[in-house]
């Protein structure tokens, strides 16, 4: 943006340019249509009265919310379970990862490089392997079919990423700021809570958002660490739904739409933090 | 130390001076140790958590792969050691080789597809045109849907008789009766197609970010030298993009090689095991047949593959750093 204003742009062939640009827009719209078609089809099917019949119309003519009604009555509880588990996972994740990120970024401790390295390595461990060992440990500890057990497991999906992300942000906090707080008589913990955390707000939001998304879309731990219906997140609910209601695609799709809503809402609300978070976290 | 004295001097409050005096008897070394101990307090919870949720499972899986688990194990608590039985059973079962091969096909196919399309889109979006930003962020939407849900939506789209894909193909005059998910020859291809669809937004975002970092001057210089667009892309853009490409491919590999939810939602590993991968095989062994020993064997091999790749990646990274 800045460069365009600085360069006294040669009076471009204004007659040709705009046309070509709109051509690209049209092409972009086509790409978008193809990419988003499955999501459109999900909503479309959810709104059709006879979604299970052979021909689902390309647009929902007689809009019908019965799919949503039955999805909410049958899957509403699972949505709440997902919400509770994901929020719990985010809380655990931030509580564990934020101090660690700060410590790894600002303290000169022997072994902290190894820990950062270890954090990166954990992201290579396949989840099903973790579930395999965790299940037997959970049986021994009585954590199978418990909200807390699932929150802990889901937090593990976000913690390494959150540490890496927040650390790369906290490295850039000037030492003087932290020293100044200490000169003012703040202890380590107070400095962390009252100075470091507010300064790192953006990276905290991004890390929290991603751990929410990880936990919300978790299916594997939900599937493996629960043997009864007590704790059933929406992902597991929908998966079992197609087993039981193969004919009723309207309700399945309505439940799918509902499962995508919280993530979409969150993302819209925190749009500006995302791009920085993604690139900051992965490229470095 | 210096900060304590400084604050005591500036504030001059009796209490501050008092604490400073109380700390005095500590030797400098002792104070340093104390400070380090307090600093470790910030990091310890994360280290403990990761040891429990990543370190422990790694070790436990190795032990489990030498134990005999049965459906009753979790009631009786008995899983006697059985030597290398699990290993030889898994290796002698033809399903393992099949799953390994299908994992390779699935991973390579997905990565190539995701990366090429993601890169093409990233390059496309570096052009300036109206609505660019909005279109670019809307393309991310598929990423927000839980993978198992995407799988179920595609399962509906792929349905041989009532799916929209076949009815669309039929309308435009192509054969509209492809058994996308129900034939052993097509199912893996279909699963790969869906995973490519899932991976495109991520590849696009990261590569787009990387492209933004490539200095414009380089392109201008290449253009002045008379290089064609394709030549500029190959000789200027791609080399500059290499670190980002490595990151994208590594992250893509790590998320693809262990995929479970997508396959379970689309095909459950079928038909006739034609979409079984090492990830689903681990799950089937452990949680369907309750043979955690066999599951652990396959899981360990999955880890081994990831580890080989990790070492390779670190090598490449180190060479690049120097």
Q: Tens of pLDDT along B262-274?
A: 999 999 888 999 9
Q: What is the mean pLDDT of residues B57-86?
A: 89
Q: If you measure CA to CA, which chain B residue comes closest to A53?
A: B162
For chain B, percent helix, then strand, then coil, each to nearest 5? 75, 0, 25
DSSP, res A149: H
Residue A134's SS3 state is helix
Q: Pick from B46, B142, B299: which is nearest to A129 by CB?
A: B299
In this prediction, residue B315 has a pLDDT band, given cuts at 50, 70 and 90, of: confident
CA nearest to B34, candidates B49, B45, B22: B22
Domain regions of chain A by residue span: 66-279
Residue B202: exposed, middle, or buried by beta-carbon count in 10 A (0-12, 13-18, 19+)?
buried
- The two structure tokens encoding residue A78: 């699972």
Which residues in chain B touch residue A247, judged by CB atoms under 8 angstroms apart? none
CB distance B39–A109 less than 8 Å? yes
> How many angstroms separate the CA atoms of B56 and B296, rounded?
13
Residue A279's SS3 state is helix
CATH topology of domain A66-279: MetI-like fold (1.10.3720)
- CB neighbour burial string for B282-319, b if at least 16 within 10 angstroms, e if fewer: bbbbbbeeebbbbbbbbbbbbbebbeebbeebeeeeee
Contact by Cβ (8 Å): B233, B150: no
In this prediction, residue B18 has a pLDDT band, given cuts at 50, 70 and 90, of: very low
Share of chain B above pLDDT 90, in %: 49
CA nearest to A279, candidates B190, B154, B243, B67: B243
Which residues in chain B touch residue A155, judged by CB atoms under 8 angstroms apart? 49
Which residues in chain A touch residue B11, judged by CB atoms under 8 angstroms apart? 185
Q: If you measure CA to CA, which chain A residue comes closest to B200?
A: A35
pLDDT value of residue B163: 85
pLDDT value of residue B176: 82
Name, in order, each residue with C-beta under 8 angstroms of B146's C-beta and a sequence gap of 6 or more: A216, A217, A218, A219, A234, A235, A259, A260, A263, B261
In angstroms, what separates the C-alpha of A162 from chain B's closest C-alpha? 11
Which residues in chain B touch residue A185, judged by CB atoms under 8 angstroms apart? 7, 11, 16
Q: Tens of pLDDT along A155-175?
A: 999 999 999 989 988 988 888
The C-alpha angle with vertex A99 and arms to B28 and A116, in degrees rounded to 5, equals 90
pLDDT value of residue A183: 82
Q: Pick from B50, B137, B279: which is nearest to A159 by CB?
A: B50
pLDDT at residue A219 above 60? yes
DSSP, res B286: I
> How many angstroms separate the CA atoms of A98 and A192, rounded?
10
In angstroms, what separates the C-alpha of B223 from chain A's closest C-alpha? 17
- The two structure tokens encoding residue A281: 């976290």
CA nearest to A82, candidates A162, A159, A154: A154
pTM: 0.85
How high does pLDDT run on average in chain A? 83
Q: Pick from A25, A32, A100: which is nearest to B129 by CB?
A: A25
DSSP, res A229: S
pLDDT value of residue A56: 66
> How many angstroms separate the CA atoms of A126 and A133, rounded?
12
> How many angstroms separate the CA atoms of A52 and A45, rounded?
9
Does B49 lie at the interface with A, CB-CB under 8 angstroms? yes
Contact by Cβ (8 Å): A219, B148: yes
CA nearest to B200, candidates B157, B143, B242, B133: B143
CB distance A132–B146 less than 8 Å? no
Does B199 lie at the interface with A, CB-CB under 8 angstroms? no
Q: Which residue has the higher pLDDT, A120 or B4?
A: A120
pLDDT value of residue A247: 65
pLDDT value of residue B246: 87
pLDDT value of residue A19: 54
CA A180 to chain centre: 36
pLDDT at residue A199 above 50? yes
Q: Tens of pLDDT along B182-223?
A: 899 999 999 999 999 999 999 999 999 899 888 888 888 888
Does B252 lie at the interface with A, CB-CB under 8 angstroms? no
pLDDT value of residue A278: 54
How high does pLDDT run on average in chain B? 86
CB distance A136–B64 less than 8 Å? yes
> How many angstroms separate the CA atoms of B108 and B104, rounded?
6
pLDDT at residue B11 above 60? no
In this prediction, residue B24 has a pLDDT band, given cuts at 50, 70 and 90, of: low
Q: What is the radius of gyration, based on Cα positions, of chain A?
A: 24
Interface residue of B156, B197, B258, B298 to substitute, partner A, most A CBs within 10 Å: B156
CB distance B6–A183 less than 8 Å? yes
Q: What is the mean pLDDT of residues A209-213?
A: 91
CB distance A263–B257 less than 8 Å? no
In angstroms, what separates the C-alpha of A87 from chain B's closest C-alpha? 16
Chain B (208-227) residues lying within 8 Å, Cβ to Cβ, of chain A: 209-210, 216
CA nearest to A29, candidates B138, B196, B113, B193: B138
> How many angstroms separate the CA atoms of B238 and B259, rounded?
29
pLDDT value of residue A246: 62
Q: A–B: how many Cβ contacts below 8 A?
A: 274
Q: Tens of pLDDT along B221-264?
A: 888 888 888 888 888 888 889 888 988 998 899 889 989 999 99
pLDDT value of residue B92: 93
Which residues in chain B touch residue A219, judged by CB atoms under 8 angstroms apart? 146-148, 260-261, 264-265
CA torsion angle B205 A207 A254 A131 (round to 10): 100
CB distance A36–B295 less than 8 Å? no
Q: Tens of pLDDT along B95-126?
A: 999 999 999 999 999 999 999 999 999 999 99
CB distance A188–B39 less than 8 Å? yes
pLDDT at residue A277 above 50? yes
pLDDT at residue B20 above 50? no
Q: Pick from A25, A38, A130: which is nearest to B57 by CB?
A: A130
Q: What is the mean pLDDT of residues B137-152?
A: 89
Which residues in chain B touch residue A223, judged by CB atoms under 8 angstroms apart? 264, 287
What size, in residues, is chain A?
284
DSSP, res A56: -
> How many angstroms separate the CA atoms of A97 and A163, rounded?
5
Cis peptide bond prior to B271, omega within 30° of 0: yes
pLDDT value of residue A2: 39
pLDDT at residue A225 above 90? yes
Does B279 lie at the interface with A, CB-CB under 8 angstroms? yes
pLDDT at residue A90 above 90? yes
pLDDT value of residue B5: 40
> How many angstroms separate the CA atoms of A35 and A24, rounded?
16
Contact by Cβ (8 Å): A42, A252: no
CATH topology of domain B96-290: MetI-like fold (1.10.3720)
Q: If you measure CA to CA, which chain A residue comes closest to B321?
A: A284
pLDDT at residue A5 above 60? no
Which of A258-272, B80-94, B147-161, B277-291 is predicted least confidently?
Answer: A258-272
- The two structure tokens encoding residue B180: 């996308």
Q: If you measure CA to CA, which chain A residue comes closest to B249?
A: A282
List of E strands, chain A: none
pLDDT value of residue A50: 64
> How many angstroms separate the CA atoms of B174 and B171, rounded?
7
pLDDT value of residue A186: 78
Q: Tens of pLDDT along A43-68?
A: 988 888 665 555 666 777 677 788 88
* Residue given tokens 């962020």 in the structure block: B137
In this prediction, residue B79 has a pLDDT band, given cuts at 50, 70 and 90, of: confident
CB distance A159–B200 less than 8 Å? no
Share of chain B above pLDDT 70, in %: 90
């Amino acid at each position: 943006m800045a460069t365009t204003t600085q360069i006294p742009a040669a009076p471009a062939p204004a007659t040709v340019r705009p046309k070509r640009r709109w051509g690209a827009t049209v092409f972009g719209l086509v790409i978008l249509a193809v990419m988003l078609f499955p999501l459109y089809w999900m909503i479309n099917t959810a709104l059709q009265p006879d979604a299970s019949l052979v021909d689902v119309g390309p647009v929902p003519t007689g809009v019908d919310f019965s799919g949503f009604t039955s999805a909410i009555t049958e899957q509403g509880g699972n949505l709440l379970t997902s919400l509770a588990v994901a929020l719990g996972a985010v809380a655990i994740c931030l509580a564990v990862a934020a101090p660690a990120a700060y410590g790894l970024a600002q303290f000169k401790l022997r072994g902290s490089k190894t820990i950062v390295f270890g954090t990166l390595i954990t992201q290579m461990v396949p989840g099903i392997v973790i579930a395999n060992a965790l299940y037997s440990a959970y049986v021994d500890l009585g954590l199978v079919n418990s909200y807390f057990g699932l929150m802990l497991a889901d937090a593990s999906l976000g913690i390494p990423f959150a540490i890496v992300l927040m650390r790369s942000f906290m490295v850039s906090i000037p030492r003087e700021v932290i020293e100044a707080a200490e000169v003012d008589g703040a202890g380590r913990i107070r400095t962390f809570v009252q100075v470091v955390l507010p300064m790192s707000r953006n990276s905290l939001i991004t890390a929290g958002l991603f751990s929410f998304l990880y936990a919300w879309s978790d299916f594997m731990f939900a599937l493996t660490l629960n043997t009864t219906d007590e704790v059933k997140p929406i992902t597991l609910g929908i998966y079992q739904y197609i087993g039981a209601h193969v004919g009723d695609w309207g309700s399945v799709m309505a439940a799918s739409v509902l499962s995508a809503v919280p993530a979409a809402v969150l993302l819209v609300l925190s749009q500006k933090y995302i791009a920085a978070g993604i690139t900051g976290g992965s490229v470095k | 130390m210096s900060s304590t004295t400084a604050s005591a001097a500036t504030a001059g409050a009796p209490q501050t001076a008092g604490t400073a005096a109380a700390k005095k008897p500590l030797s400098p070394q002792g104070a340093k140790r104390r400070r380090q101990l307090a600093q470790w307090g910030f990091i310890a919870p994360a280290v403990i958590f990761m040891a429990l949720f990543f370190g422990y499972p790694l070790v436990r899986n190795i032990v489990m792969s030498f134990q005999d688990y049965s459906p009753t194990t979790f009631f009786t608590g008995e899983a006697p050691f059985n030597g290398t039985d699990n290993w030889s059973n898994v290796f002698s079962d033809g399903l393992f080789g099949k799953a390994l091969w299908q994992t390779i096909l699935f991973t390579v196919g997905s990565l190539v597809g995701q990366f090429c399309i993601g890169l093409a889109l990233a390059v496309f979006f570096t052009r300036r045109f109206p609505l660019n930003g909005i279109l670019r962020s809307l393309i991310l939407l598929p990423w927000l849907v839980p993978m198992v849900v995407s799988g179920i939506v595609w399962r509906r789209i792929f349905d041989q008789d009532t799916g929209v894909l076949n009815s669309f193909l039929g309308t435009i005059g192509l054969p509209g009766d492809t058994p996308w998910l129900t034939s052993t020859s097509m199912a893996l291809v279909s699963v790969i197609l869906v995973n490519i669809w899932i991976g495109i937004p991520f590849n696009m975002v990261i590569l787009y970010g990387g492209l933004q970092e490539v200095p414009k001057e380089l392109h201008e210089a290449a253009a002045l030298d008379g290089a064609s667009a394709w030549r500029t892309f190959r000789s200027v853009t791609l080399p500059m993009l290499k670190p980002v490409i490595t990151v994208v491919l590594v992250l893509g590999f790590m998320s693809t090689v262990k995929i479970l939810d997508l396959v379970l939602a689309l095909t459950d590993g079928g038909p006739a095991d034609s979409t079984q991968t090492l990830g689903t095989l681990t799950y089937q062994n452990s949680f369907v047949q309750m043979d955690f020993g066999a599951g652990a064997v396959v899981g360990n091999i999955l880890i081994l593959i990831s580890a080989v790749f990790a070492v390779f990646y670190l090598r490449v990274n180190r060479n690049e750093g120097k």
